[in-house]
Structure 1
Amino acid sequence: MSETSEEKIKRIAREIYGAVGGIENVEKLIHCMTRVRMTIRNDDKVDIEKLKNINGVLGVVEEDTLQVIVGPGTVNKVADEMVKEAGVKLGEPFPNIEIDTTGMTDKEIVEAKAAKVKAAQKAKQKQTPIKQILKSISNIFIPLIPAFVGAGLIGGVAAVMSNLIVAGDISKSYTDFVAILKFIQNGVFSYLAIYVGINAATEFGATAGLGGVIGAVTLLPGMDINAPLHNIFNGQPMSAGQGGIIGVIFAVWLLSLIEKKLHKWVPDAIDIIVTPALSLLIIGVFTIFIIMPIAGVISSSLVGAINWILNVGGAFSGFVLGALFLPMVMFGLHQILTPIHIEMINKTGSTPLLPILAMAGAGQVGAAIALWLRCRKNKQLTNMIKGALPVGILGIGEPLIYGVTLPLGRPFITACIGGGIGGAVVGGLGHVGAIAIGPSGLALVPLITNGHMMSYVLGLLAGYVGGFVATYFFGIPKDAILGEATTVETDALSQNGNKKVIDPNVAMTTITAPVIGKKVAIDTVSDPMMAQEVMGKTVAIIPDINSKIYAPVDGKVTMIADTKHAIGFMDKIGEEVLVHMGVDTVKLNGKYFNLNIQVGDTVKHGDVLGTVDWQKIIDADFDPVTMTIVTNTSDFKIDEIESNIQTKDNTVLMDSRIK
């Protein structure tokens, strides 16, 4: 019995995954006219011959991406099936199991924790249709934010120079230069509908080029202004851009539905010709005569309503909006605001909503500084704050939200209060708008409308102070002050209620060699970060060719890198000990490493943890030097034995005790 078209698509998708090492070996997937293009994580897992022999695969091309040729009319269906199985959209990163944090800076560690908390927070949330819509809106506009920021800044410079020319402060000879700046600015905003159409098509699973055409249709290119089309509802002449960005998104969503249906109905042989033509014709006509008039009324009413609320509510409206924005971010509801900002900029020249909402980030910064001062003994927390604070000041708030305040609970609430105070100041002063959207914080200052930058800065200062005071006096959890030095995960810990605490009878411990070999001075290590002991007290050993890997502590395994080149431990007194095998061996993706332990295992000094083919590592031009690092060195008094000695599995490298 022959397989149906749908069965064929599912089989090809399944067999491609089988030949490339499974879904877990694919980092990203897109397609072109004839090829499924995959970014592969580990090329060694790909079976090219097996891939070529799949029934339905016409060829394989190995370049920066692995390209599997399946032909026009089939490629989009196979690609859609593959990303559907992975639970992502075309072009989105595929899920990964672990992230190797070895050698990360404070900033990178807090961002990694923020991403983990954010993912956990999203997992708790029920994925309703509304949240799916908001996520899609976010995905459409995020790629455009750098263009908004860059063009907005250039437009701001052009506006200032124009005012100076009119006032006679600078020569009229700069007129042409100002015109050039405006050309660059208008390159984004005049054709924004096209960019949004392309991104919306990618998000909704339609052909990107067709989405761009539908966006262009809303600009009514080529329409004779002396003989315009008329609105079928009120008979008024239609204007280019009527319906705005909201109309474009809705039209492209309909396009995606029509195109997908046609792909199923139209035979593969003529699909590439018939489907695009019919899709554009149907949606193009519907967009001009139905979507544009209705969306035009909606967008104009929305902008007018927001301006009315801000004008009437003043400081009160500013406080409410500033205080509620962080919860909106947490639940993903803030994504709906992006097209509103853009519509306000298109219709009035600026968005007064963005400067108020930006105060939420100021509240986060103030709360983080208060936590830093009150919890300075909590090294892990303060290091995370140091990593997240600079970008928070510049308007990138996710590391502070998901990495610091939200996990602690009360600081998140007091940060919201600080955001409300800043919002009240901006709303009370009034007339503060942003001429483009982008990061908030200090980074938004150049985009504030001419003459109102100081009002925005005063709002930021109020948000900083409000978040700091509210958090310092009311938002500090006791466990944040104590820190994680009292909550380590190891078998040598005793129970105190539901909290694990360090055994008070254990005050001193030793760290032994993880490999047999020759101990060398740390400043001879080729990796400058390791040589300077940036991560903490470090001992380096060049392993013998036949050396195994041994446990350096009595404690518990807390981390194993995906690439197996690094293992983390927690010992009896709470030391975080990292064994890092080789320099840059992360690039080997686990090749030549064979470990027989798992995270959570209890180990004792000298236990064999696995083997490494040191000779093959050397043959592959990697330095095998193995580092033993105490990553929380500042909490302990550590004495190292002298250098240049031969080590065995029980050789003591360091004596440690709590300060």
Structure 2
Amino acid sequence: MAETPEEKIKRISQEIYSEVGGTENVEKLIHCMTRVRMTIKDDSKVDMEGLKKIDGVMGVVDDETLQVIVGPGTVNKVADEMVKEVGVKLGEPFPSAKMDTTGMTDKEIVEAKAAEVKAAQKAKQKQTPIKRVLKSISNIFIPLIPAFVGAGLIGGVAAVMSNLIVAGDISKSYTDFVTILKFIQNGVFSYLAIYVGINAATEFGATAGLGGVIGAVTLLPGMDINAPLHNIFNGQAMSAGQGGIIGVIFAVWVLSLIEKQLHKWVPDAIDIIVTPAISLLLIGVFTIFIVMPVAGVISSSLVGAINWILNIGGAFSGFALGALFLPMVMFGLHQILTPIHIEMINKTGSTPLLPILAMAGAGQVGAAVALWIKCRKNKQLTNMIKGALPVGILGIGEPLIYGVTLPLGRPFITACIGGGIGGAVVGGLGHVGAIAIGPSGLALIPLITSGRVMAYILGILAGYAGGFVATYFFGIPKDAMVGEEDAAEVQDDNASVIDSNLKTATITTPVAGTRVAIDAVNDPMMAQEVMGKTVAVIPNMDSKIYSPVNGKVTMIAETKHAIGFINEIGEEVLVHIGIDTVKLNGKFFNIDVKVGDLVKQGDILGSVDWQGIIDSKLDPTTMTIVTNSIEYEISKVELGDKVEANSVLMDNKVQ
């Protein structure tokens, strides 16, 4: 029996908690348009792969917060269910859970405490000033996005109807209805400073009502336009809303500092009376005479500079913005654009940035279609694309970014190029603006300024085409095109190397040098032989690397520090050259063989500049590992400290 929508929401919520270490491992939880965002206490308890496998989860992002992508429409239901289960509201701290030490050994208690300290230290390292600012901006505006979208769409309908009335295409009797629509639209944008003040106060730890009052102060309510206040810097009359939301956010941040100090200084008996009054008086005056004039100059300059860049740069500026937006999303830097969009809407009636940045999603769509066609044998990939493509077309790009293009590498880059091409078209045509923020893709069309819808659509089509062409010809990884049949062929090809008549084989050293005890290797995973039976050798200055087996090369790392083989009895052997040498990105390595080559023991595979590795302050110790050693009886040959090239390290026989 198919699960009901309510059952699905409960299941997703419970499975997310299960994979993140339970409710006790979550500090707080919020959500945006597509993601459940959780602040995690101990990252080591999170099973990332388990999260990704949950039916209904489109992707996972491990950033400052753990972000589980469940898609629009579902995310608010899942988030509400999750906070309901622990009895808190969105954004509120989860009830603290003490570590249960019952039945734990001393060692386990110490390890648990160490994990807790490590997680806390990791959280501190992530909290850079820039990330804190961006996170705060995000938290202030995310709750308002549904209001922006709804009011923006209503405003778009009102604008269309107004044009039809003027053109005589519909009756003037609709004028009152249009007026009502505009009232609803203005209910958001006319009093936006108040909403931002309330949210900013909540974010900065001030009293929400006081933040709302400071936001209202910037509207200068009750000021006589015939006798206005004057700017103390230039003597000009001040205007309502001067400084915009940038000024409101800054003023409320200062309010939070003052209020917190007053709570410490003012006696409890009069705190509820004195602290709010003094806070509002000080910050109100500060906002009117300092913040509003300064923020007004900054806001006007910022809006003017962006318009100038778009007008002068045209297609070039559009390409740069469209191509760079996805990397900004990856690093969370896109949040800084939200107040800029809103300030431009407040001052000019629309934001020309959003239609250009929306082209990044169009590039993702084009890249996904190219992958679908070229990688049609890869059923797992194409199924993911099928699920992510519809919402991608509507402007929700996270499933495509984190589930498809970014994990594959090159398609992400070619998708960015497609976004740049779409941005160039929109920037080149010019004067394309959005009257509200929130959606992108096709969903943004109703919010595009009157008369420029076709220019936006042409940009989307260009983004689709650019992402498709760039990905189809330059962005398809070869391994992404491998389907189940191809994988079977590779497996059969490997099987052809195996001689079923052979029952034993030897593995020889790939380098000459000094053999060391495996537990002395400076790599915990290698030292514990987690990957399989392992022998370690510190190489001498002989630069040559030799084949340890008779068989076939099955893998060469892109950084050339590791080579994999399958030998004549089916053992899978890995030669790992140095410790942490992946950081060198192939420098000092010269590998002459390629995947698929047949090799014999002692064949020269290439060379390594050992001195270069040592000078880079890395350990040259080379490990030879039988990664499927559980299937074989393997004995390490007893040798002296010194081993020559091609000395036998291990004898093996089939079980």
Give the residue type in structure 1 aligned to 2:289: F
Local SS of the residue matching 1:411: helix
Q: TM-score, normalised by structure 2?
A: 0.59
Cα distance in structure 1, aligned partners of 2:63 and 2:291: 40
Contact 2:60 2:66 in 1 (8 A): no
Residues 1:189 and 2:189 are matched in the alignment: yes
Give the residue type in structure 2 aligned to 1:368: A
Give the residue type in structure 1 aligned to 2:274: V
Q: What pairs with 1:47-58 in structure 2 (closer than 5 Å)? A: none
Q: TM-score, normalised by structure 1?
A: 0.59
Local SS of the residue matching 2:230: coil
Contact 1:117 1:402 in 2 (8 A): no
Q: Structure 1 residue 234: deviation in Å?
A: 1.1
Cα distance in structure 2, aligned partners of 1:196 and 1:87: 27
Give the residue type in structure 1 aligned to 2:340: I
Contact 1:26 1:94 in 2 (8 A): no
Moved more, 356-365 or 374-383: 374-383
Cα distance in structure 1, aligned partners of 2:158 and 2:192: 19
Local SS of the residue matching 1:154: helix
Q: What pairs with 1:194-205 in structure 2 (closer than 5 Å)? A: 194-205=194-205
Contact 2:426 2:455 in 1 (8 A): yes
Give the residue type in structure 1 aligned to 2:146: P
Question: CA, structure 1 residues 270+117, in 2 after alignment: closer, same or farther (shift >3 Å)?
Answer: closer
Local SS of the residue matching 1:242: coil
Q: Residue in 1 aligned with 2:59?
A: 112
Cα distance in structure 1, aligned partners of 2:61 and 2:168: 51
Q: Residue in 2 aligned with 1:464?
A: 464
Question: CA, structure 1 residues 25+478, in 2 after alignment: closer, same or farther (shift >3 Å)?
Answer: closer
Cα distance in structure 2, aligned partners of 1:169 and 1:355: 29
Larger RCO (CA under 8 A, 6+ residues apart): 1
Cα distance in structure 2, aligned partners of 1:444 and 1:211: 31
Contact 2:27 2:40 in 1 (8 A): no
Question: CA, structure 1 residues 119+403, in 2 after alignment: closer, same or farther (shift >3 Å)?
Answer: farther
Cα distance in structure 1, aligned partners of 2:206 and 2:471: 47
Cα distance in structure 1, aligned partners of 2:478 and 2:415: 17
Q: Residue in 1 aligned with 2:424?
A: 424
Question: CA, structure 1 residues 95+179, in 2 after alignment: closer, same or farther (shift >3 Å)?
Answer: farther
Q: Residue in 2 aligned with 1:303?
A: 303
Question: CA, structure 1 residues 473+275, in 2 after alignment: closer, same or farther (shift >3 Å)?
Answer: same
Contact 1:158 1:181 in 2 (8 A): yes
Contact 1:27 1:94 in 2 (8 A): no
Give the residue type in structure 2 aligned to 1:398: E
Q: Structure 1 residue 266: deviation in Å?
A: 2.5
Give the residue type in structure 2 aligned to 1:415: A
Q: What pairs with 1:606-645 in structure 2 (closer than 5 Å)? A: none
Q: Structure 1 residue 481: deviation in Å?
A: 2.1
Q: Structure 1 residue 337: deviation in Å?
A: 1.1
Give the residue type in structure 1 aligned to 2:176: D
Residues 1:455 and 2:455 are matched in the alignment: yes
Question: CA, structure 1 residues 427+272, in 2 after alignment: closer, same or farther (shift >3 Å)?
Answer: same
Give the residue type in structure 1 aligned to 2:269: A
Local SS of the residue matching 2:414: helix
Q: Residue in 2 aligned with 1:337?
A: 337
Q: Residue in 2 aligned with 1:378?
A: 378
Contact 2:395 2:440 in 1 (8 A): yes
Question: CA, structure 1 residues 465+338, in 2 after alignment: closer, same or farther (shift >3 Å)?
Answer: same
Q: Structure 1 residue 496: deviation in Å?
A: 4.5
Cα distance in structure 1, aligned partners of 2:343 and 2:483: 46
CA-to-aligned-CA distance 1:63-122 (integer Å, 9 cap, x gap)? xxxxxxxxxxxxxxxxxxxxx9x779xxxx9998358659844xx34x234568995999
Cα distance in structure 1, aligned partners of 2:154 and 2:568: 62
Question: CA, structure 1 residues 26+477, in 2 after alignment: closer, same or farther (shift >3 Å)?
Answer: closer
Contact 2:26 2:40 in 1 (8 A): no
Local SS of the residue matching 2:314: helix
Q: Residue in 2 aligned with 1:312?
A: 312
- Larger of the two Rg values belongs to structure: 2
Return 5+ residue gaps in structure 1 as ranges: 1-20, 31-83, 507-601, 605-659
Cα distance in structure 2, aligned partners of 1:447 and 1:438: 10
Cα distance in structure 2, aligned partners of 1:375 and 1:123: 39
Q: What pairs with 1:500-511 in structure 2 (closer than 5 Å)? A: none
Local SS of the residue matching 2:260: helix
Q: Structure 1 residue 463: deviation in Å?
A: 0.2
Residues 1:97 and 2:46 are matched in the alignment: yes
Local SS of the residue matching 1:345: helix
Question: CA, structure 1 residues 426+603, in 2 after alignment: closer, same or farther (shift >3 Å)?
Answer: same
Residues 1:436 and 2:383 are matched in the alignment: no
CA-to-aligned-CA distance 1:549-585 (integer Å, 9 cap, x gap)? xxxxxxxxxxxxxxxxxxxxxxxxxxxxxxxxxxxxx
Cα distance in structure 1, aligned partners of 2:63 and 2:129: 24
Give the residue type in structure 1 aligned to 2:59: A
Give the residue type in structure 2 aligned to 1:97: V
Q: CA RMSD in A?
A: 3.9
Contact 1:114 1:401 in 2 (8 A): no
Contact 1:117 1:407 in 2 (8 A): no
Q: What pairs with 1:442-591 in structure 2 (closer than 5 Å)? A: 442-482=442-482, 496-497=554-555
Q: Structure 1 residue 127: deviation in Å?
A: 4.4
Moved more, 252-261 or 415-424: 252-261
Q: What pairs with 1:145-164 in structure 2 (closer than 5 Å)? A: 145-164=145-164
Question: CA, structure 1 residues 503+360, in 2 after alignment: closer, same or farther (shift >3 Å)?
Answer: farther
CA-to-aligned-CA distance 1:322-374 (integer Å, 9 cap, x gap)? 11111111122211111111111111111111111110110011111111222
Cα distance in structure 2, aligned partners of 1:322 and 1:412: 13
Q: Residue in 2 aligned with 1:346?
A: 346
Q: Residue in 1 aligned with 2:398?
A: 398
Give the residue type in structure 2 aligned to 1:294: V
Contact 1:244 1:343 in 2 (8 A): yes
Cα distance in structure 1, aligned partners of 2:183 and 2:127: 42
Question: CA, structure 1 residues 125+320, in 2 after alignment: closer, same or farther (shift >3 Å)?
Answer: farther
Return 5+ residue gaps in structure 2 as ranges: 1-20, 31-37, 69-121, 492-529, 533-551, 556-561, 571-628, 632-655
Give the residue type in structure 2 aligned to 1:161: M
Cα distance in structure 2, aligned partners of 1:276 and 1:411: 54
Question: CA, structure 1 residues 336+95, in 2 after alignment: closer, same or farther (shift >3 Å)?
Answer: farther
CA-to-aligned-CA distance 1:531-556 (integer Å, 9 cap, x gap)? xxxxxxxxxxxxxxxxxxxxxxxxxx
Residues 1:278 and 2:278 are matched in the alignment: yes
Give the residue type in structure 2 aligned to 1:347: K
Give the residue type in structure 2 aligned to 1:327: P
Q: Residue in 1 aligned with 2:223?
A: 223
Q: Structure 1 residue 236: deviation in Å?
A: 1.3
Q: What pairs with 1:119-268 in structure 2 (closer than 5 Å)? A: 127-268=127-268
Question: CA, structure 1 residues 167+207, in 2 after alignment: closer, same or farther (shift >3 Å)?
Answer: same
Contact 2:51 2:60 in 1 (8 A): no
Contact 1:432 1:448 in 2 (8 A): yes
